[in-house]
Structure 1
């Protein structure tokens, strides 16, 4: 499942929610799972395609794609401190999956 859309961060970011699964409350929230910079170019999205695909096919990316509740999405913003665009990949994970991800991959 490829990450293909770049919606605005405000339109996709959701508040924390709790669902009952097997009679147990499970909390889900959004987490930035990967972040990288692309030099300020005419079309930074084209230049970000390589790092996005590389991350998705990495061990951490494959794990996130398998455990995310929804398809992960990405956003970008201009980082004026270093004249580049900053890309964030955001995934909606359960809190236990977030803990596992942080311990293993960060």
Structure 2
């Protein structure tokens, strides 16, 4: 499931530029919880050309959980994820 998502501008090496925001997220309450409860190490993916025509990259962090932990994540941080999807943190 998607646990965090953000946008970056058109940069030369998206993986290098994504490292800072990913580390900042890992230090947040949600990020620390995900890192502790994920069944495997979460993965991040970069994509080009968002559906709304944004020029740059979208970075998505995905993780797998037990059904109980997935429900907990949605109840605890689901609203934040939805608001981030609408407003997009852009770096």
For the aligned pair, the TM-score class normalised by the smaller chain equals: 0.7 to 0.9
What residue in structure 2 maps to residue 65 of structure 1? 35
What residue in structure 2 maps to residue 91 of structure 1? 63
Equivalenced residues, count: 76
Gaps of 5+ in 1: 1-30
The question of 1:82 aligning with 2:54 is answered yes
Q: Deviations over 1:38-74 (max 9, x none)?
A: 1011112211111100001110000011111111111
- The normalised TM-score by structure 2 is 0.79
- The normalised TM-score by structure 1 is 0.68
Runs of 4+ in 1 over 3 A off after TM superposition: none
Gaps of 5+ in 2: 79-91
More strand, by proportion: 1
What residue in structure 1 maps to residue 85 of structure 2? none
Root-mean-square deviation over aligned CA pairs: 1.0
Cα separation, 1, equivalents of 2:24 and 2:31: 8
Point out which structure has higher relative CO (alpha carbons under 8 A, 6+ apart): 2
